[in-house]
Amino acid sequence: MNYSRIIGTGGYLPEKILTNADLEQMIHTTAEWIVERTGVEQRHIAAPGETTCDLAEQASRRALAAAGIEPRDIDLIIIGTTTPDHVFPSVATQLQHRLGCYGCPAFDVQAVCTGFVYSLDIANRFIRTGASRHALVVGADTFTRIINWQDRGTCILFGDGAGAVVLEASEEPGIIDSRLHADGRYKELLWVPAGISSSYDKTRKNAAFVEMRGSEVFKVAVTTLKEITEQILTANNMEVSDLHWLIPHQANRRILAATAKRLGLPEHRMVDCVRIHGNTSAASVPLALDVAVRDGRIQRGDTLLLEGFGGGFTWGVVLLIY
């Protein structure tokens, strides 16, 4: 039986850093209040003209280097993103062009902050069926492009970035199991009212920006992530204690802490990068994974649980041996 294993990780953050002190000069807030409410101390902001594909390319090249393979070895590219460079073509096809690995399937997945988890699940299925041997899976967003910088409830949370992994077909277990879910009833709790084909009110002041009901999102996120984690562990005859690392979507520190507490997982076994990255949407899970791999916390053979939760709502988990 073919498994798919992660053989390389990569991450990229734009050079510009926006600190809480900077935000104090932009909106009515304090650095202390931001940290207390979110745990975020800084976030990275894409430069003018720097696109989602630019970020994805940097993360991808680092993942390829870590995997020790060339772009020509890649036979599948999937990118989770909410902020593509264009309506079309996809970011994935543009990344394919930059890497020079022409001809293989390349497409984007829109599941907002769960985009990387959705993409990883899809790539795993390609490999398990023999349709791919080396897949490049990316989460990338220039999410600050759809943020209203006068909205204190959202602008303090989000940043830009990209994370990538290379999956390889293997006889050794890698991805063990995954679960994906969605529920469109919750869309107005976290959404962007603007759209290409929707007949939204064009006079609406903030139609093209993210709108979020934070407390309601918090409640649904913590509940659903606890339930889906318990489901996938039970299905695989595992306990929370069998996990070496939980790598959750880096939404905000309060959601991370609440999820760990409800699962009975010690916080020191949860990868937490939200302080320095903020919420980078689809990039947050692969960025956190890359940070923990490169600083030595995650070792070969460790059992990991990756969690995503995003607008829509969408949510999902991937259980794997690194």
pLDDT of residue 125: 98
Q: What is the mean predicted confidence (pLDDT) over 238-262?
A: 96
* Average pLDDT value for residue range 221-225: 94
**Antiparallel, parallel or unpaired: β 211-212 and 190-191:** antiparallel
pLDDT in tens, 25-43: 999 999 999 999 999 999 9
Question: pTM above the 0.85 mark?
Answer: yes
pLDDT at 200 over 80: no
- Assigned CATH class of 3-172: alpha beta
The predicted structure's pLDDT at residue 168 = 98
Domain with CATH 3.40.47.10 in the chain: 3-172, 176-321
Q: Which residue has the higher pLDDT, 198 or 191?
A: 191
- Please tell me the predicted confidence (pLDDT) of residue 196: 84
Q: At what angle do helices 214-235 and 253-263 cross, to 10 degrees?
A: 40
% the chain with pLDDT above 90: 94
pLDDT band at 201; cut points 50, 70, 90: low
Q: Is 198 left (phi over 0), alpha (psi -120 to 50) or beta?
A: beta
pLDDT tens digits, 61-109: 999 999 999 999 999 999 999 999 999 999 999 999 999 999 999 999 9
Instruction: Kindly compute the dihedral angle of the four CA atoms of residues 173, 174, 177, 178, in this order, to the nearest 10 degrees.
Output: -170
Whether 194 has a pLDDT exceeding 90, the answer reads: no
Name the token pair of 281: 């949407």
CATH superfamily, region 176-321: Thiolase/Chalcone synthase (3.40.47.10)
d(CA 230, CA 118) in angstroms, rounded, equals: 19
**Residues known to be catalytic:** 113, 249, 279
* Percent of residues, the chain, with pLDDT higher than 70: 97
Alpha carbons 147 and 121: distance in angstroms, whole number: 28
**What pLDDT was estimated at residue 46?**
98
Q: Does residue 197 carry a pLDDT above 90?
A: no
